[in-house]
Amino acid sequence: MDLPRQTVSLGQKPALLLVDMVQGFTSSACPLGTDCPDVVEANRRLLELFHDKGLPVVFTTVVYHNDDQAKVFRQRIPALNVLTPDSDWVKIDARLPVHEQDMLVEKQWASCFHQTDLAARLRQLGVDSLVVTGLTTSGCVRATVVDALQYDFPVVVVEEAVGDRNLEAHAANLHDMHAKYAEVARLADVLALLS
């Protein structure tokens, strides 16, 4: 049974945080990925609105520059070793328009906040809340949402703009994030709210 909770809403300056919307995760040609055109399209629609409103946008990617980075994680999931700087798998999905002012954060672990300067960069921009999207719901999205809460950012997760190879894990993690860490909302509702 879920605990009683208060609704958390977006602030005056939300940022869109697209977690690992890179070719290695949006294509089944990569051992890490799954074809998810509906998730990509939901992200494209959110991107368009955030760009039109002049609100901050952050993309993340996973890149391993040497064998010492995230050793245990890569030992556990050897497929991560394809995410090298010279690989197309670490590039943002070409269906998503990246603007010059958009931020790109490289990470090595699940959370976009862990051992990155993301929180400091968001604070510097005056960001007061986050819309979190991306891949995968049960992995990097969830880890990022939990850390965002721990940095005191209210978070909205857009249901159609996150995805997972495991549909049961996707549903369970959406439920759990909504129960404890974030608001999980429909794409249409978030677009309407921001418009």
CATH label of the domain that carries residue 152: 3.40.50.850
Provide the pLDDT for residue 15.
98
Helices (H), the chain: 23-26, 37-53, 71-76, 118-124, 142-150, 167-180, 187-194
The answer to whether residue 70 is domain-embedded is yes
The answer to whether residue 1 is domain-embedded is no
Give the pLDDT confidence of 103-133 residue by residue, as tens digits: 999 999 999 999 999 999 999 999 999 999 9
Query: Which of 189, 180, 128, 121 is CA-nearest to residue 160?
Result: 189
Q: Which two tokens stand for residue 165?
A: 């190879």
The answer to whether residue 84 is domain-embedded is yes
The answer to whether residue 77 is domain-embedded is yes
The answer to whether residue 9 is domain-embedded is no
What is the mean predicted confidence (pLDDT) over 162-185?
96
The answer to whether residue 5 is domain-embedded is no
Residues marked as catalytic:
140
Domain with 124, as residue range(s), is 14-194
Number of domains composing the chain: 1
The answer to whether residue 35 is domain-embedded is yes
pTM: 0.96
The answer to whether residue 150 is domain-embedded is yes
Residues 6 or more apart whose CB falls under 8 angstroms from that of 84 comprise 63, 64, 65, 90
1 pLDDT band, cuts 50/70/90, is confident
